[in-house]
Structure 1
Amino acid sequence: MTFTIRRKTIGRRVAEKCRPLTRKNRKRKKCVLFKRVGRIAAQAKAGRNRTKFSGKLRGRRLPRGRYRAVAVATDTAGGRSTPRTVAFRIVRP
């Protein structure tokens, strides 16, 4: 099972897509963009599972803000499940 962690940021609309903010597109309409900050792999069994998340990736604490975790399970044959998304927030300790 892999969890991809994405941080909520502000982007700009360019050609009907949300793109990261640059000097060139800074006057365009705002949109919400989720930027990937890391990935966590965990062992899981068939059925319901729980995994604790400490708020750290690669030994470093995530900064305060809003995030999404996208979970995808993979079986031994390489088949992937439908991605499941959960929103969470990192607050000051």
Structure 2
Amino acid sequence: MLVITVDLIPGGVEPLRRSIGTVQISNISDLADISSYHLLAMEAANPLTGTAARTGECILFGHDRRQSVWKLIEAAAAAIETADWEPL
């Protein structure tokens, strides 16, 4: 499993650091060369967009594991946009 955390550091001031999002990426294909992944995301409330804190999940199908981890993160980020979201 990969866990990605997105922290916001306003103005680069470390004491103001806060997590605004996380995603867990879990392989559900026995590490096959072409794999599918379960994605579980959490997002903090965002006053700029007016969204409440929420969680979402979806499946990323058919990812080529022989690519860079950044390609997996890119594909996961795109898939999360289609997730079923529930308010916290």
Task: Give the TM-score normalised by the residue count of structure 1.
Answer: 0.30
* Bigger CA radius of gyration: 1
Q: Which has the higher contact order (CA 8 A, sep 6+)?
A: 1
Structure with more helix by fraction: 2
Task: Give the TM-score normalised by the residue count of structure 2.
Answer: 0.31
